[in-house]
Every structure is written in structure tokens, then in C-alpha cells.
Structure 1
Amino acid sequence: MRRLSFLMIFVLITPLLSACYTFRGASLDPSLKTVQIQNFALQTAGGPANLSLTFNEKLKEYFQRNTSLKMTNTNPDLIFEGAITGFDVEAQAPTSSDKGGLNRLTIKVQVKFTNTKDENKNFDQEFPFYLDFPQTQTITAAQGTLIPKILDQIVLDIFNKTAGEW
């Protein structure tokens, strides 16, 4: 009797647990099979020379890991193109001596998304994100930890806009 109760609970809970993770996957139309992610150009002053390459690889990797879409350059169902348009450092939270207590690094990526199967899903939008770092730290010292975190969030925002069901 106890074994039967355990089995029934397991059978009832398993689908519920698996349903909890469906948000992480894509809610793309099943007819979509391919994606093309063109190289995003660096159209801003500042930032490391490999910023564009780093972003491109993060975006491609995220879509490969979280969807069943195949990368292609021939007649893709989905197309991503754009540019990194901002890499800005600004002083934030001034102190009593009129110096910035924090600096803010903001990266902006302009994305043109084309869904060849459903043009109502197309968009051309800027995706910005920022993180703050201490005024005592230089951008050169801070960017090694800030840039990956900022780019990860921008990639997630792009993914959610195109594939998430929010």
C-alpha cells in the first residue's frame, strides 16, 4: 500500500515538475528550423577590440544551447543582424566631494530581427544593459568581469523577446 502511494505521488508530481522548466526553453513555432546570426559590428568608440566577436559567439551559443534551431546562411527562417552601438562609462552616485562614488558601464546593442515565416514578429530594437563598479576601479580593470555579465543579460533579453513566451 505504501509503495502504491509513493508510485501515485511520483506519477502525479513528475509532469508538474517538468512543466516548471518549460519557461527556460523556447516557445518558437515548430515550423521554424533554421537561424542566421550575422556578425554584429562594433559601431561605437571604446570597449575592447574583441567586444563584437564576444557578443556574436555568446548569441550563437545561447541559441544553439536553448533551441533546436540549426545555424545556416542559406534561406534561414530567423535572421539576427545589428551592431553594438554603445559602450559608455558614466559617473553615478556622487559623493560629498563631488566625485562619482560609482561608475556605470552601459553597453547597447541594436538588433534587427526578421522572422521569414511571420513578419508580425519582426522588430528593430535597441537592447541596453548596465552594471555599476567602484569609482576607485578603472574601466580596464573592471571590464573583465562586467562585460561578460552585461552581454549575458543582453543575449537573454534578445532571446526572451524572440523566443520567450512572456
Structure 2
Amino acid sequence: MKFFKLLSIFILAVSINSCSVYNFTGAKPVDGKTFQVNYFQNNADLIEPGIERRFTIRLQEIIQNQTNLDLTNSNGDLLYEGEIVEYRITPMQATASQTAAQSRLTISVNVRFSNKNKEADNFERRFSFYRDYEGSSLPTGSVLNDYIDEIFERITQDVFNESLAKW
């Protein structure tokens, strides 16, 4: 009985100690208290209205939900900025009648990350993801919004992992 009590205390101590290195979302402790996400401009050749605002808000939300950092409008310890550089629809597979059997929506975002307290973490990188869909239909309305949300979910998680989780 005493062995199980000691084992439980040991496991609890190791668990508490390990939480100081990573939290439950995988983010490492950050040398800062605030973060800032500047508005991401849409510089893609093909413009889908409103996606720049949606991406900016989505990035703010993921950082707020997965860290204890405070969002600020200026002088953030961590700074995210950049632009949407690609919004493209391409046919992926052709049918016998020379029409697209499958098409792909691709969105790419160039992100510049700066950490005031640890400049070694700074980076500029292009993040991209896509969504394949039936080639005979062009997604519009809520279907297109769902596709964009799916792509932004992946891109923002990749940005988070690169900047804060170091994966």
C-alpha cells in the first residue's frame, strides 16, 4: 500500500514538473506576455473578398485559445504579420470529355514572426494548404466558406506550431 502511495506521489510530481516545459496544447513557455497580429493583406492574383480579415481573426483566436498570452494592438512581445499571397483554383484530374473531374483550392500565406525577447525565434515563411473538391461544381456560398475555414484551420495551426510549439 505504501508503495502505491509513493508511486502516485512520484507520478504527480513528474506530471507537475513536465507541465512547466509544455502546456496541454504543446506550446513551450514564451518569453513574453503579449502578442500582436497585424492585418494580413490579400495580395493574391485572384481575390476572394474578406478572406484577409477571416485569416487575421482566425490566427488571433488560435493563439488566444492555446496560450495565456494577451492580444494587443501595438508593441506586442510577439508579432505576426504578412500577406495572403496565393488564392488559386486548379483542375487536378480530367475526364474523358476534357472537363475537370477534380479541382483544388489552394491558399498560401506569407508570415513574418518576430519575438522581441528572443530574436533567434524570428522567421519569415510561406504556409500553404489546399482543399480538393468535385471538378464539375464551383464552390460558392457556405460551401466555399467551409473550404476556406478548413484551409485556414490548418494554416493557422501550422503557424502556431512553427512559432510557439517549435514542431
Using structure 1 for the length normalisation, give the TM-score. 0.83
The Cα of 1:11 is off from its aligned counterpart by: 6.0
On the 8 A contact 2:48/2:87 being kept in 1, the answer is: no
1:64-143 equivalent positions in 2, closer than 5 A: 64-140=64-140, 142-143=143-144
Question: Distance in 2 between the 1:50 and 1:143 partners?
Answer: 12
Q: Which amino acid aligns with 2:145?
A: G
The superposition leaves residues 7-40 of structure 1 with CA deviations (integer Å, 9 ceiling, x where unpaired) of 78876776788869946241133x3111110000
Please, which moves more after superposition, 69-78 or 127-136?
Answer: 69-78
Summarize the Cα distance change of 1:8–1:128 in structure 2 as closer, same or farther, 3 Å threshold.
same
SS at match of 2:114: strand
| Structure 2: gaps spanning 5 or more residues | none
Question: Distance in 2 between the 1:87 and 1:40 partners?
Answer: 14
Instruction: Kindly report the root-mean-square deviation, in angstroms, between the aligned alpha carbons of the 2 structures.
Output: 2.6
| Structure 1: gaps spanning 5 or more residues | none
On the 8 A contact 2:34/2:76 being kept in 1, the answer is: yes
Q: Which amino acid aligns with 1:155?
A: T
Using structure 2 for the length normalisation, give the TM-score. 0.83
Percent of pairs with identical residues: 31
1:1-166 equivalent positions in 2, closer than 5 A: 22=23, 24-29=25-30, 31-140=31-140, 142-166=143-167
Q: Which amino acid aligns with 2:149?
A: P
Question: Distance in 2 between the 1:160 and 1:111 partners?
Answer: 13
